[in-house]
Amino acid sequence: MSSPSTGSEALQRFVEDELVRAPFLVDQVIDGAVEHMRNGIPGMSPHERAVAADLLMKSLAHRQHLVDYYVRSLRQQVADERSGRGPAPAPAAPKLSLALVDEEEVSVDVEISHTIEAIRSVAEYELRELQTFISALVGDMEVARDYNPFRAETHARALWAASQALPMSRGYQLTFMRHASIPLAQVLRKTYAGASSRLEAAGVEPASHRTLVLPSGSRRSRPGSNEASFNPDLLRMRDSMPVREAPAAPAPPLEAVLEQTEAQLRTLPADTQPAEFDRLRHEQREKLVQSAPTAVDQQVVELVGRLFDNILADRGLAPDIKLLLSRLQAPALRVALHDPKALAKDGHPVWQFADQLAFLGDILSPPGTAARDEVLQFMQGLLDHLVAEQEQNAALYQWALERLARHAQQRLEQRCHLAAGEITTLQDLEHRLVASRDITSSMGGTLDVAQLDTVPAALIDAEPERKKPPATAQAWLEQRSPGDWVRMFMQGRWVHAQLLWPGEHGELFLFCDNASPTTWAVRRNALLTLHGENLLNTLEPRALVRAAAKQVMRQMVR
């Protein structure tokens, strides 16, 4: 296995080699886009033929600009990721430069998402294979994360950057991108395969495919969504757990072992290696099983242990969240031993509390930030209180859920306070936008909204042509309230965002990014468009125990 420094140097050499080849890649994509447009002209309408003719002329005339813009974007994205800033994050908007995200802006995100899907569909196998080679390059033989800097989304964003090199309106640029998407996917399929072959020829042994983590996106279901229809029978699963013979030597009381387990987990360093962490947990479970006074208690210990094994094996959970969840295992076992309802349904408050802990990992700012550490410190104190309670029951964890809800409400109020100026501006703008429509309707004429007094000019865009959105999208948007979390594709990337303010008239909505101070003021029709394209959905807690129970059942069958 490579050392971190050696792996980093090897990855850097790979990156530079691929960037040198990038101009040739873009040339092939342009040729493919030109051919795609020419072949499609006979089946186009007169208007589409005119657009295609203009695009053919401009794309050939500005071919070098297209190549330069694409390669420049590729280099910038790779540099941003290598420096730790992430793949082209959206910049935090200053307080005085609020701008609306309208349907025109969203149309870019829709096209980028379609390009990403095209690449993943056409080059899925080659992309997976390259990920395993690059993981081996950096010394991660289990493919714990995706180290490939040339992912589908990176090339999709570079294609949009190249499209903007055309001195044409945004509609033309998006049409060019649409024609270039499939050629790009086909070229990348060969590019990914060639990169894997070169790494193999250089003696790189690929990592295991079995633990490959696929990139997030619309093709990948939201974590936990595939367990939505699975309803585990935990009581029956308990009865199927093995029962061991009583130990020859007297074992310490179960309660004493539980207290020892809690003490060990409470003092466990945050940087404990996963292998050592798992070893300690399995040793503790063995002691708990030997101390169980009855066969049923043994089975409960075994079931809860296996459930937490699978919960803590979830690669989607951050290490700090796993540490919190590991502390919940001993009190959850106490609940399962003394409260029969805990195994009667997976909706018991103790399991809901576990779901909320995992949900924090999705909605909090990235690990290492002060905001995240502050919330985790609160959670540590709450867990300390729960562990110290003598009586472990549903009422205790219902109280803990209420504490979590109050804390979340306080965080929402703090974020709204920081965005108070933006909210005031948007309230005023929404009133004027609605008033302008009312005046236009009553007068039978048109009104230039940009000329209204005191409305910031940077916020005004021409009213887009309205299309009737699907009823499901309308109903979904009407159900949203302040504090709701969503997962949406915004400015070329998937983000987790919280709704801070829904407009009084339902025309404007203010969202904040969970990972930065960025806010987005989004128009209603833009949100409906995103929802209709499956690029905007509610972000909800995962059903951890339900997913873990499904895995336990599979393991038992094997």
The whole-chain average pLDDT of the chain stands at: 83
Q: Within 13 A of 362's CA, how many CA atoms are on the CB side?
A: 23
Residue carrying structure tokens 């890649």: 25
Task: Enter the tokens of residue 90.
Answer: 């959206």
Phi, psi of 511 (to 5 degrees): -115, 155
Q: List the Cα angle 397/551/331 in 5-degree steps.
A: 25
Burial state string for 41-72 with b = 16 or more CB within 10 A and e = fewer than 16? eeeeeeeeeebbeebbebbeebbebbbbbbbe
Instruction: Give the other-Cβ count within 10 Å of 104's Cβ.
Output: 16
pLDDT of residue 534: 92
Which stretch of 133-142, 302-311, 332-341, 417-426 has the lowest confidence by average pLDDT? 133-142
Instruction: Supply the pLDDT for residue 23.
Output: 96
Tokens of 384: 């300390």
Q: What's the CATH code, domain 420-538?
A: 2.30.30.140
Taking a C-beta distance cutoff of 8 angstroms, is the pair 494, 216 a contact?
yes
Task: Note the pLDDT of residue 162.
Answer: 97
d(CA 326, CA 267): 12
- 500's CB contacts (< 8 A; 6+ apart) are 412, 415, 416, 419, 423, 482, 510, 511, 512, 519
What band does 451 get if pLDDT is binned at 50, 70 and 90? Answer: very low
Query: Which DSSP state fits 241?
Result: S
pLDDT computed for residue 454 by the predictor: 43
Residue with tokens 């899925």: 124
pLDDT band, very low/low/confident/very high, at 176 (cuts 50, 70, 90): very high
Cα–Cα distance for residue pair 41/49, rounded to 1 Å: 6
Q: What is the pLDDT of residue 207?
A: 79
Q: How confident is the model at residue 321 (pLDDT cuts 50, 70, 90)?
A: very high
Q: How many CA atoms lie within 13 A of 348 on its CB side?
A: 23
More confident residue, 230 or 490: 490
Q: Which helix (H) or strand (E) holds 498?
A: strand 493-502
CA dist., res. 528 & res. 504, Å (int): 17
Hey, what are 413's tokens? 């109020």
Q: Taking the model in full, what pTM does it have? A: 0.80
For the cut 80, the answer to whether the pLDDT of residue 320 exceeds it is yes
* Residue (of 259, 241, 404) closest to 330 by Cα position: 259
DSSP 8-state class, residue 95: T
Q: What residue segments make up the domains of the chain, in order of their start?
A: 4-95+103-201, 226-418+543-557, 420-538
DSSP structural state of residue 41: G
- The rounded distance, in Å, linking the Cα atoms of 220 and 475 is 24
Instruction: Report the distance separating Cα 154 and Cα 159, nearest Å.
Output: 9
With left for phi above 0 and alpha for psi between -120 and 50, is residue 429 left, alpha or beta?
A: alpha
Residue with tokens 């809690």: 262
**Can you tell me the distance from the alpha carbon of 129 to that of 149, in angstroms, rounded to the nearest whole number?**
14
Give the pLDDT band of residue 228 (cuts 50, 70, 90). Answer: low
pLDDT band at residue 285 under the 50/70/90 scheme: confident
| Tokens found for residue 431 | 């009133």
3-state secondary structure of 369: coil
Q: Mention every residue, 6+ apart, whose C-beta is less than 8 A from residue 85.
A: none
Instruction: Name the least confident of 148-157, 215-224, 360-369, 419-428.
Output: 215-224
Residue type for 488, please? M
What distance lies between CA 15 and its chain's CA centroid? 25
DSSP E strands: which ranges in 344-491? 485-490
| Alpha-carbon separation of residue 52 from 37, 109, 179, 357 (angstroms) | 6, 22, 10, 52
